[in-house]
Structure 1
Amino acid sequence: MNISDLYFNTKKQLPDNIETRSGQLLLKGGFVSKSSRGVYYLNPLGCAFIDRIVEGIEIILRKNGFQKTATPILNLKHQHSGINKFITTDRDGKSFFLTDEPYYEFLEMIKTNIISYRQLPVRLYESRPKLKNIFKPNRELFNSYETKEVTIMMADVDKLVLQKRIDYLLDSLKIIFDSWGLDTDRIIKPNGAGFYIGTRTDWNNLGSFHNEQDGQYHSISHIENIGSESVLSEVEILDKNLVETPD
């Protein structure tokens, strides 16, 4: 029997600590199953669902001239890590951490390989599981590494041209998000540090905004609408831990 034809028991009692409606639906619908406390694996149905979403986004990116790349998850160069990163040591006792934020590697790739403006524009994207350590053993939460994240990186000769390409890309992505019934907003990060796409939700019957960056929910009152864009006026500042990484 193919595992895709296997019956998953979704009628059993849900854990008492599954508070979110989405978590209950994922279990009841057979998208995920429990592996251990707070840790879940994707069933074939869940994988097919996630893959279809990522595939739809990748089609739009390729049409906009993006090329797929894969950056390493081992960070050996940058010594600063947020408190939500997994930190470990190798057999020689040197520390490093696992990261799902490819920005440093993207920049390193461009700095190393792009030696002339004639090589621009550069458009790269990456799709990988999240690797954030938000596990809380006292609560029955879904660890975020069961989901994927698509990150893009663009470099161009002119800021105005770059902005036009970004706007066109976001308009294309919004069309596909709307077709999926997702109400999305473009959120500008503080101090010109780029942007991400977030979703509005009726979470806990309160107007809130799901921050795709940290997995937290922010009150709508902290979202300032500026035309077709939004600015997150209140962000969580993470403490930084110094990590001694190998040379």
Structure 2
Amino acid sequence: MKGFNIIKKDYHYYGRRIGFKLSKKKKLVLENILPKIELTNKNIDNYINSSLSNNKKINLEVGFGSGENLNHMIRTNKDSYFIGCEPYLNGLASFLLDLEKINIERVKVFKQDVRELITCFPKNFLSNIIIFFPDPWPKNKHKKRRIVNEKNIELMTACLKKEGKIYTATDVEDYFNWMIKVFNNSKKLKIIYRNKFCIKKDFFSITRYEKKALDKNKKTFFLEVKKYLD
């Protein structure tokens, strides 16, 4: 199969791209490791075609932060493949530092807006989508920037396999209720598990952001959503 859409920069990303000055180690992994696993217009077609022909189980983590959960999933799910999307270079570099060489063949990363990537994917391409502790954009005038909104979830659902799942977690109750409304408004998705204590499935790991919330005695919330219709 050929001719999938190229990655187009049609979306504006509102988050940070870089924070503190990168250390020498982080600069090195971005220079030496990132090019080996980064999805770009040069390799996106080959990646999609190879994944389809080999019927790979591919999991996408959106905004993986420093990569604690992504690295955990890679290590504990030997038969699965992963894509991590993270525009924040400091976090991306932290993930690459912890990535074991033996696992490089089972993971790809994308350092731009995730919407640019998923609009390239064919239908029924992804097995699971993970969105843990995304930016809550708490001000009313900014809520349209939330990654979990009806338009974005429609894009994600289109490339999610039937019976595939979307997992979300947040420490902002308003965002949790917002997510419930977004998923309930979808004709193809159904919430199958919700928890106000962020009791997640065993194959997920605690993230740096989740630990910060728990250290502050903040409530955390978890949703598991399943795709029932194509």
Highest CA radius of gyration, 1 or 2? 1
Tell me whether the two structures share a fold, i.e. TM-score over 0.5. Answer: no
